[in-house]
Amino acid sequence: MQTGLIQNAHNDLVTDAAYDFYGLRLATCSLDQRIKVWQLDENEGTWNATSDWKAHDAAVAKVCWAHPEFGSIIASGSFDRTIKIWEETTADADQPQVNGNAASTSSNSRWVERFVNSDAKGSVRAVEFAPHHFGLKLATIASDNFLRVYECLEAPSLTTWQVADEIDVPALPSTSSASASHTHTLAVATPTQTTSSIDGPATASLVASALQQHQNAPTSRPAIGNREADGGWCLSWCKERYWGEVIAASCGVKGVVKIIQLSPSRRPTTLLTLDPSPSTDLSASMNSSHSADHDGAVASSITSVAWAPSCGRSYHLVATGGRDGHVRIWKLKPSAHDDDRADGAEEGRWTGSIVADFDHHKSAVGRVEWNITGTVLSSAGNDGRVRLWKATSGNIWRPAGHISVEQAEEQQKEGDVDMDEGNGAD
């Protein structure tokens, strides 16, 4: 496996990184409030910064790319409670640069702010464009526990967006009786928390004081109240067009993921609730040697969720990573009948089970992501490692190796890193 290392990419902690559709450009964001766009030099195998600008007034939490059929567009979400839409345009020397975004000497383009929205009443934790066949839509989720879906009304200008759906995720009725309310969660250092009982002291956040005011503010409804430092807010779109607009979303500290069906003709509904609590039935195909010890298990917030590309499978795979250090892979089976699909999300139509449960990170998992075919899962944790997981014969998921920053530095000149299964064992 080839690896690359970008030294000193930002002046503070990097909070997110996202490839464009072709995998030749990379957008990164950081606590330093900036977004950078990197271009791959395919001959040298190195990444060069082509754009760098101050994007928000607080730490930038997430970035994502739109499908290239809509142009070169990036969305960003921040702890300043805003989402922004950026478009790459040809640089004009006679016009002022936006937000300090000076065109690189190797590029004649710049990124222009096209849209700003401040509907969120908390930090915006995740942003993700919908699959392109649903049009230019953007889903966001914030620490006010609302999932918001925006639709662009003027695609050429990108200046007019309207809220297509605004969903109070915890208040959305659940189809699973097993999704009980849990209030206990592991205390893990985050960009909004300066100390941790697990990982020791962490660098003070740029937005700690602002979030402290938010945490101490009186709550106006039961859905708000989970401390930002303990919760997890994440989402992922279903990539398969056949099932309509479906989103996996998780909020707060309860440790459950809701599979939500969106429809222009009716209210959003919950197709399925993924709950890793002891009452959840596990698939017989789960690798028992790496399964979680469910005795005495408590709920921990889900920090990342990723819906795998279907690639012709009759079922869906959804991966989750949480503050409990577990990486879980869920197998989702939709209704087998078209009339069930047409009727919408009635209770019990979808089923789900855990097919793999790994705790190799031994610390909070910050990110899970699938490859383009949905056959290999990667995860990044507070242990400083990126780990790979893949299915073997019999559909048994097993470790496929790991890489750390130290290994990447050692192997940078060699180009290839051995990621065999033995390397993944701890």
d(CA 418, CA 56): 39
pLDDT of residue 185: 28
The SS3 assignment for 69 reads: helix
The answer to whether residues 159 and 273 belong to one domain is no
Residue 100, domain CATH? 2.130.10.10
pLDDT of residue 408: 63
What is the per-residue pLDDT across 388-411, written as a single tens digit (0 to 9) for each? Answer: 999 988 789 999 999 987 776 666
Flag the least confident range among 176-180, 255-259, 296-300, 324-328. 176-180
User: Which residues contact residue 268 at a Cβ distance below 8 angstroms, ignoring those fewer than 6 apart?
Assistant: 165, 167, 172, 260, 261, 262
The answer to whether residues 31 and 132 belong to one domain is yes
pLDDT of residue 348: 47
The answer to whether residues 353 and 238 belong to one domain is yes
The answer to whether residues 49 and 163 belong to one domain is yes
206 lies in a domain? no
The answer to whether residues 159 and 245 belong to one domain is no
The answer to whether residues 121 and 41 belong to one domain is yes
pLDDT of residue 282: 40
d(CA 83, CA 305): 20
340 or 45, higher pLDDT: 45
Averaged pLDDT, 135-140:
97
The answer to whether residues 281 and 395 belong to one domain is yes
Last residue of a domain, one of 129, 150, 168: 168
pLDDT of residue 171: 93
pLDDT of residue 281: 46
Averaged pLDDT, 99-104:
51
Range of the domain at 239: 230-426
The answer to whether residues 105 and 254 belong to one domain is no
pLDDT grade, residue 18 (50/70/90)? very high
d(CA 21, CA 92): 26
d(CA 73, CA 71): 6
149 or 218, higher pLDDT: 149
113 lies in a domain? yes
Q: How many domains does the chain have?
A: 2
Averaged pLDDT, 13-22:
95
pLDDT of residue 98: 52
The answer to whether residues 272 and 388 belong to one domain is yes
400 lies in a domain? yes
| Contact between residue 384 and residue 405 where contact means Cβ atoms under 8 Å apart | yes
186 lies in a domain? no
Last residue of a domain, one of 152, 168, 184: 168
pLDDT of residue 426: 55
413 or 163, higher pLDDT: 163
**Rounded percentage of the chain residues whose pLDDT exceeds 90:** 59
402 lies in a domain? yes
What is the per-residue pLDDT across 36-95, written as a single tens digit (0 to 9) for each? Answer: 999 999 888 889 999 999 999 999 999 999 999 999 999 999 999 999 999 999 866 445
pLDDT of residue 335: 77
Terminal-residue alpha carbon distance, the chain? 20
Last residue of a domain, one of 114, 139, 168: 168
pLDDT of residue 3: 76
412 or 381, higher pLDDT: 381
The answer to whether residues 241 and 161 belong to one domain is no
The answer to whether residues 271 and 141 belong to one domain is no
328 or 178, higher pLDDT: 328
219 lies in a domain? no
Is the predicted pLDDT of residue 128 greater than 80, yes or no?
A: yes
Closest C-alpha among 303, 311, 309 to residue 381: 303
pLDDT of residue 16: 96
pLDDT grade, residue 5 (50/70/90)? confident
122 lies in a domain? yes
Q: Give the mean pLDDT of the chain.
A: 79
| Contact between residue 156 and residue 87 where contact means Cβ atoms under 8 Å apart | no
Q: What phi and psi values does residue 210 have, to the nearest 5 degrees?
A: -65, -40
What is the per-residue pLDDT across 344-373, written as a single tens digit (0 to 9) for each? Answer: 444 448 999 999 999 999 999 999 999 999
pLDDT of residue 107: 59
Is the predicted pLDDT of residue 137 greater than 80, yes or no?
A: yes
The answer to whether residues 108 and 251 belong to one domain is no
pLDDT of residue 109: 83
pLDDT of residue 1: 61
C-beta atoms surrounding 222 within 10 Å: 10
138 lies in a domain? yes
Is the predicted pLDDT of residue 383 greater than 50, yes or no?
A: yes
If 0-12 CB within 10 Å is exposed, 13-18 middle and 19+ buried, where does residue 251 land?
Answer: buried
